[in-house]
Structures are given as structure tokens and as C-alpha cells.
Amino acid sequence: MKVKMLACCEKTILDIETNRASCINIIDSIESKSFPILISSFNVLSIFDKEKGDGDEIFYTLFLNLNDSEILSRSLSVDFSDVSVGVRSLVEINNFVIPVNGDLVIQLIDYSGSLLSSWHIKVERETQSQV
């Protein structure tokens, strides 16, 4: 299985008629005046292609790691029984806490432990500008 695309955003729209996906408010950095912070809406959108020799259902794990410490993981699967390219996976994660600033890394890991794809988000403390 090959990851064609991985993105994190606040909201995702999947059009059933066209099979098109739209990411609203892509998240590539997070700034906060104080920590911990509550992230109320966080979507992970992945698009997968089947490779030669892959089965119809492939299992993988989604990890959210902050400064190399796991803060969330979910076991998931991709079903290629109807199509072999462009299979979308949307994971909605609502109301999770980021306790400190640092590097938030979203990883897709296959059943053998190999990294399929990753998305990096810098979590920083807002700097106050002087007037």
C-alpha cells in the first residue's frame, strides 16, 4: 500500500458523487499563549493506492506523537475490495489536549512497523509583540 497523500486540517469534506476531498484550514503549525491547549477539531485525511501483491484489506496504525511521546494511537484499515486507487481515509479526532509546546508528528505505520507517511506540526508558544 502506498500513501498518495496525508494532510491534517480542521475540517474535511468528502464529496460522495465525485470522490473528491477538500481539507479546510490545513494545520501545519499551532500557536498558543499558554499550555495545555485543547484542540477541538482535528482531521487526518489520507489517500491510499493499492500496490501489486497487496490484499483487499490492509491494516495500519495512526500515531500522534508530541516530542517523541505518544499521545494518541488508532488501529485502522483500508478496504481495497471495490477500488485499487484513491481510497480515502478520514480520521476525526475531537477534543484532545496538547500539554506542552514542541513537535507534533502524525505517523501512519503499517502492520510490519514500517513508516508509510508522516505530517509534522510545530507547536509553539505565541510571542508577544512589543508596541
Whether residue 47 contacts residue 2, with contact meaning beta carbons closer than 8 Å, is answered with no
The C-alpha cell at 1 is 500500500
Quote the distance between the C-alpha of residue 130 and its chain's center.
35
Tell me the whole-structure pTM to 2 decimals. 0.90
Indicate the CATH number for domain 2-14+22-125.
2.60.40.2550
d(CA 100, CA 125): 9
Maximum distance among all alpha carbons in the chain?
Answer: 61
**Residue whose C-alpha cell is 514542541:** 102
Q: Characterise 95 by phi-psi region: left (phi > 0), alpha (psi -120 to 50), beta (else).
A: left
Domain coordinates of the chain in residue numbers?
2-14+22-125
* pLDDT by 10s per residue, the chain, length 131: 999 999 999 999 988 888 889 999 999 999 999 999 999 999 999 999 999 999 999 999 999 999 999 999 999 999 999 887 789 999 999 999 999 999 999 999 999 999 999 999 999 998 876 55
d(CA 68, CA 103): 8
